[in-house]
Amino acid sequence: MQIAEAPTRQPTPAAMPEAPPNATVVVRNLSKWYGDVVAVSDVSFHVEPGVTALLGPNGAGKSTTLEMLTGLLAPSQGEIRILGRPARGDVELYRHVGMVPEQETLYPFLTGREFVELNAVLQKLDDPAAAAHQALATVELLDDADRPVRGYSKGMRQRTKIAAALVHDPDVLLMDEPLNGTDPLQRARLIDLIRELGRRGKTVIVSSHILYEVERFADRILVINRGKLAAAGDFHAIRDRIDEHARSVRLRCSDPRRLAAALVQTPIVLSVRFEPPAGDLAPGLAVETSDVRSFYRLAPAIAQRQDVHLYEVAALDESLASVFAYVVERG
Amino acid sequence: MAGTTRAARPPLPIATLTLRQFAHGKAVRVVALFAAVPVIFGLIYLIGSETQGRLAFLHDLFRNGIAPTVLPMAILILATNALGNEIEDRTMVYLVLKPQSRLRIVLEKLLAVAAVATLLLWAGTIVAYLIVMRGEAGDALAVLVAMLVAEVFAVLAYGALFLLLSLLISRALLAGILYALLWETTFSRFIPGVRLLSVRHFVESIYVRLADNPVVTMDNPNRLVSAVATLLILAVLATVAAAWRLRTMNLE
C-alpha cells in the first residue's frame, strides 16, 4: 500500500496524488452521512498489495468504510475503485474480492463445510467441494467442519467466515475485526495467515480497534477517527507517535488490590483506578501507562508473580480515541 | 482454494438454501396452519347440518376464505421470511457479495416461496375438497382444478409482490398483513374500483372462468386470458423491481 503522504493528516483533495499503477484499491474523497450525522468525511487513500490495517476506536467509521469498499453501502459522495473497477454495481468484481463481515450470524442449520461450499458454489468455482476443503484446512477447521455452525464458538464462526471469504482465492480481501472472539492460539494462527496472504501479493485490508494486535500483521496503517483519516502510512512511524501519548488499559483479575499495589511500583504505570464488577465480569483496574507496548508484556508477568488470575487486558476505547485525536493534533 | 472456472455446479443453490431455511424455521409451520383453515371449515361443514350444497359450500370457502385471506397471508409469511429475515440478520451479505445477478437471487427466492406455498396450499385445498365431497371426486372436479390453478397464479403474483415489499420496508410483515386484511379482504369486496386493483379479483376470475360451472360465479369476472396476463405481468414487474431494489439498496 502506498498512502498519499505518510504519515500525515488527511490530504486535501487537491493534494491527493494520482494512485500508482499497482494500487488495487483507490478511494477518492469518500464521504458518508446519515441526515446530519457524518460517518465518513472526505477520506482519500490508495492501497497496494500487502496487509493494511484500518485502525480506529469503535464508531470511528471503519466498518462504514469497509462496507462502502465492498459495495454494500453507497457513498454519499466520492469514488471507490477496486482493481480498476467501481466497487458498487459490478457483481463480477466479487470473483476477485472477499469479505469477512463483522457480524457473527451464519446460517445456523448449515455445517461449516456446507457454508463454505455454498460460498464456493455462489462463486461459480469449478470444484466447490475441493475449494471448500482447502479453505477449511487453511483456517484449521476441518475437524469441526461437519458440525452445524449453531454449535460453533465465536472463534470458530470467525474462522468459518474467513474460510468462506478465502474459498475463491480473492486478490483483495477485506476483513472487519477478524480476530474478535478468537483465543490466543487461534489469533496467532490467523495473524500468521493474514501475513502470509500479504506476502503472497494479496491486498488485505483488516479493520481493528486494537493497536497492539495490528502491529503484528500490518506494514501499513490507515487511522480513522470520527470519520476522518487521521493518519496514514508506515505503521512503525505512526505507532511511535501514538506511544508518546499515555494510554489507558483495563485489566480484569481475581485480586485487583494486590495487582494494583504491584503495578504502581512499575515506572511505566502513571495511575491506577479501581473499577467495580460489571455484571458477571470480575472487578477491574483502569491503568494509565506511558508505554502501552511494554505494559502489555509486563502486566501478565506481574500478575503471575503476585499469584493473581488475569481475565482481561484491553485498551480502553475512549483512551484510543484520545490517542487518535492526539495524532491528528500532532500531525 | 481454486481457480474461478466454470463447470457443473449444484443447480439453484439459493433456492435450495431458502428451502432449508424454511425447513428449520417457524414460518412453514405457521403457513401450514393457514393452509389448514379450509380443512377446518370442511370438517365443520361435514359435522354440520349441510344446509348448503357441497359445491356451493366449496365455492363460498374459496371466495370468502381462501382467496381473500388464506392465500395472501400464507404467501406473505413465506416471502417476508425468505428475504426480510436475511436482510435483518445480515446473512444476505453472503449472497450479494458474489458474482450472482440480483435478478437471479430474487428469482430463486421466489421459486422457493412458490414451491412451499403451492405445496401447502394445494394440500389444504385438496383435503378440504375431499372432506366436503366425502371422499368422492364428484362432478366438481373441474372446480377443484380451477381452485388449484388459480392458487398457482396467486402464489406467483403475491410472492413477487411480497418479496418486493420485504426489500422496501423493514416492517414488511405488518404492512403485508394490513394490506391483506384491509385491501384484499375488506375494501376489495365492497368498493368496485378497488376490486379491479386487487390481486384477489384476478385470482377469482381465473377460478370462475376455469370452473365453468353455474354455481361458481362472481360479479364482472375478467376474461381468463386477461386475468392470467395481468397476474403474470404483475409478477414479472414486481420481480424486476425487487432485483433493482436489491441492487441499489444499502445493506448495512
For A142-167, write each residue's pLDDT tens digit.
Answer: 999 999 999 998 889 999 999 999 99
Mean pLDDT of the region A117-144: 95
- Cross-chain residue pair B95–A122, CB shorter than 8 Å: yes
Tell whether the model's pLDDT for residue A233 goes beyond 60.
Answer: yes
Minimal CA–CA distance to A110: which of B252, B70, B91, B159? B91
**In sequence order, which residues have a C-beta less than 8 Å from that of residue B113 and are 6 or more positions away?**
B18, B75, B78, B79, B82, B155, B159, B163
Tell whether the model's pLDDT for residue A17 goes beyond 70.
Answer: no
Closest residue, chain A, to B9 (C-alpha): A121
Could you report the predicted ipTM of this complex, rounded to two decimals?
0.87
Tell whether the model's pLDDT for residue B47 goes beyond 90.
Answer: no
Tell whether the model's pLDDT for residue A97 goes beyond 60.
Answer: yes
| DSSP 8-state symbol, A252 | E
| DSSP 8-state symbol, A93 | G
pLDDT computed for residue B121 by the predictor: 97
- Cross-chain residue pair B95–A127, CB shorter than 8 Å: no
Mean pLDDT of the region A99-124: 94
pLDDT cut 90: percent of chain A above it? 51
Closest residue, chain B, to A118 (C-alpha): B13
Cα(A295)–Cα(A317) distance, rounded to whole angstroms? 17
Mean pLDDT of the region B218-223: 89
Q: Which of A8-17, B139-148, B157-166, B184-193 has the lowest mean pLDDT?
A: A8-17
User: Which of B5, B14, B96 is opposite residue A126, by nearest beta carbon?
Assistant: B5
Mean pLDDT of the region A271-298: 83
Cell, residue A116: 463454505
pLDDT computed for residue A56 by the predictor: 83
Beta bridge partners of A173: A98, A204
Residue A268's alpha-carbon distances to A249, A265, A293, B4, B205, in angstroms, are: 12, 9, 10, 53, 83
A contacts of B4 (beta carbons < 8 Å): 95, 123-126, 168-169
Tell whether the model's pLDDT for residue B246 goes beyond 90.
Answer: yes
| DSSP 8-state symbol, A283 | P
pLDDT band at B186 (very low <50, low <70, confident <90, very high): confident
- Cross-chain residue pair A91–B9, CB shorter than 8 Å: no
Closest residue, chain A, to B250 (C-alpha): A73
Residue B139's alpha-carbon distances to A37, B54, B55, B125, B200, in angstroms, are: 68, 11, 9, 17, 26
Count Cβ atoms below 10 Å from residue B6 Cβ, excluding itself.
Answer: 8
Tell whether the model's pLDDT for residue A1 goes beyond 70.
Answer: no
pLDDT computed for residue A296 by the predictor: 83
Q: Write the burial class of residue B249 (CB in 10 Å: 0-12 exposed, 13-18 middle, 19+ buried).
A: middle
pLDDT computed for residue A275 by the predictor: 84
Tell whether the model's pLDDT for residue A128 goes beyond 50.
Answer: yes
pLDDT computed for residue A9 by the predictor: 40
pLDDT band at B130 (very low <50, low <70, confident <90, very high): very high
Q: What is the pLDDT of residues A176-221, one digit of tens each?
A: 999 887 788 888 889 999 999 999 999 999 998 777 778 788 888 8
Mark which residues 142-201 of B lie under 8 Å from A by CB: none
Between vectors from CA A132 to CA A127 and to CA A138, what angle results, nearest 5°? 130
Mean pLDDT, chain A, integer = 85
Closest residue, chain B, to A102 (C-alpha): B90
| A166 and B CB contact within 8 Å | yes
| DSSP 8-state symbol, A74 | -
Mark residue A168 as left, alpha or beta (left: phi above 0; alpha: psi -120 to 50; beta: remaining).
alpha
A contacts of B97 (beta carbons < 8 Å): 70-72, 94, 97, 99
CA dihedral (B130, B131, B136, B142) in degrees, to 10, reads -40
Mean pLDDT of the region A47-70: 90
The 3-state DSSP class for residue A277 equals coil
| DSSP 8-state symbol, A14 | G
Cα(B192)–Cα(A170) distance, rounded to whole angstroms? 58
Cα(A263)–Cα(A301) distance, rounded to whole angstroms? 11
| B134 and A CB contact within 8 Å | no
| B23 and A CB contact within 8 Å | yes
Is B242 or A214 the better-scoring residue by pLDDT? B242
Tell whether the model's pLDDT for residue B218 goes beyond 80.
Answer: yes
- Cross-chain residue pair B98–A118, CB shorter than 8 Å: no
User: Which of B9, B20, B99 is opposite residue A94, by nearest beta carbon?
Assistant: B99
Tell whether the model's pLDDT for residue A8 goes beyond 80.
Answer: no
Count Cβ atoms below 10 Å from residue A264 Cβ, excluding itself.
Answer: 12
| B3 and A CB contact within 8 Å | yes
**In sequence order, which residues have a C-beta less than 8 Å from that of residue B195 and are 6 or more positions away?**
B188, B189, B201
| Phi (first) and psi of residue B61, to 5 degrees | -60, -45
pLDDT computed for residue A313 by the predictor: 80
pTM of the predicted protein model: 0.81
| A32 and B CB contact within 8 Å | no
DSSP string, chain B: ----------S-HHHHHHHHHHHHSSHHHHHHHHHTHHHHHHHHHHHS---S-HHHHHHHHIIIIIIIIIHHHHHHHHHIIIIIHHHHTTTTHHHHSSS--HHHHHHHHHHHHHHHHHHHHHHHHHHHHHHHTTT--GGGHHHHHHHHHHHHHHHHHHHHHHHHHHHH-TTHHHHHHHIIIIIIIIIHHH-HHHHTT-HHHHHHHHHHHHH--TTS--SSPPPHHHHHHHHHHHHHHHHHHHHHHHHHS---
Classify strands A247-253 and A284-289 as parallel, antiparallel or unpaired. antiparallel
A contacts of B93 (beta carbons < 8 Å): 70, 72, 99, 101
